[in-house]
Amino acid sequence: MTAAAIVLLSGGIDSAVALASLRAEGVACEALLVDYGQRHGIELARASALADYYETPVTRVSVNLPAMRPHDALIGQVAVPKHRSLRTIATAPRPATFVPGRNLVLLSLAFSLAAMRAAGRVVMGVTLSDAAGYADCRPRFVTEFAIAARCGTETFVQLDTPWLYRTKGAVIAEGARLGVDFAATLSCYQPGASGTHCGCCDACVIRRHGFVDAGIVDPTIYEAP
């Protein structure tokens, strides 16, 4: 199967719903799974399982971001922020879970793969409303990266961010319409060994509120109330 779209698949809700939507439209996809040293590496196993479910071939890539390790909560030893309100998450400055340049690296890999596969689209499930403190989740970054990537690859690959202006609740509602198994996804920054969610990191807080906003029963197993 020749891929028409390269999907950056993280194992979380947003990328899972993006893949489900494309497959429902009959779009041939290839999933790109990137191991960048994230402490919550179980997300890659969830992403792989989602790709299998949607009959999507996978390319796996490992990258090393050693310079970031001492300063970041996802790949370093800095504590993951917990027990923050949704308002605090939305208005606080850059969180410890921000990995400088991560999306820049991930999208560069995806565009390179798209150019090799002659795929017309790179799809990323980034959402501005979920990541106000993340510079690489903002519309300006998305727009300007797409321009630079097309110049750098001499292709006309489109960068598709279908949920950029959507809330988590809206994405969940769309996923429910498509029959996405949310229990198979993982959002937590510090999950248990079996894939349970901690229940109190920023990603878990956003996930919980998303299901409430969507009016859909949350199937997630949380370790903390």
Specify the pLDDT at position 40. 66
Q: Does the structure show a pLDDT above 80 at 31?
A: yes
**pLDDT band at 90, cuts 50/70/90?**
confident
Q: Sheet of 158-160: strands edge to edge?
A: 58-62, 29-35, 5-8, 121-124, 158-160
Q: What is the mean pLDDT of the chain?
A: 90
Rounded-to-integer distance, Cα 44 and Cα 185, Å:
10
Could you tell me which residue, 75 or 170, shows the higher pLDDT?
170
Checking 132-136 for CB contacts under 8 A at 24+ apart, the result is 132/89, 132/90, 132/91, 133/89, 133/92, 133/93, 133/94, 133/95, 133/98, 134/94, 134/95, 134/98, 134/103, 135/94, 135/98, 136/101, 136/102, 136/103, 136/104
Q: In the chain, what are the domains? A: 5-214 (3.40.50.620)
Q: By percentage, how much of the chain surpasses pLDDT 70?
A: 94
Region 180-191: what's the mean pLDDT?
95
Find how far residue 54's CA is from the centre of its chain: 17
Could you tell me which residue, 99 or 26, shows the higher pLDDT?
26
Could you tell me which residue, 9 or 193, shows the higher pLDDT?
9
Could you tell me which residue, 178 or 127, shows the higher pLDDT?
178
What pLDDT, in 10s, does the model give residues 116-152?
999 999 999 999 877 778 888 999 999 999 999 989 8
Could you tell me which residue, 165 or 134, shows the higher pLDDT?
165
**pLDDT band at 71, cuts 50/70/90?**
low
- 20, burial (CB in 10 Å: exposed 0-12, middle 13-18, buried 19+): buried
Model pTM score: 0.93
* Residue 166, phi then psi, degrees to nearest 5: -105, 150
Rounded-to-integer distance, Cα 124 and Cα 66, Å:
24
Specify the pLDDT at position 64. 78
Q: What angle do CA 144, 150, 151 make, to 5 degrees?
A: 90
Rounded-to-integer distance, Cα 38 and Cα 7, Å:
19
Specify the pLDDT at position 69. 56
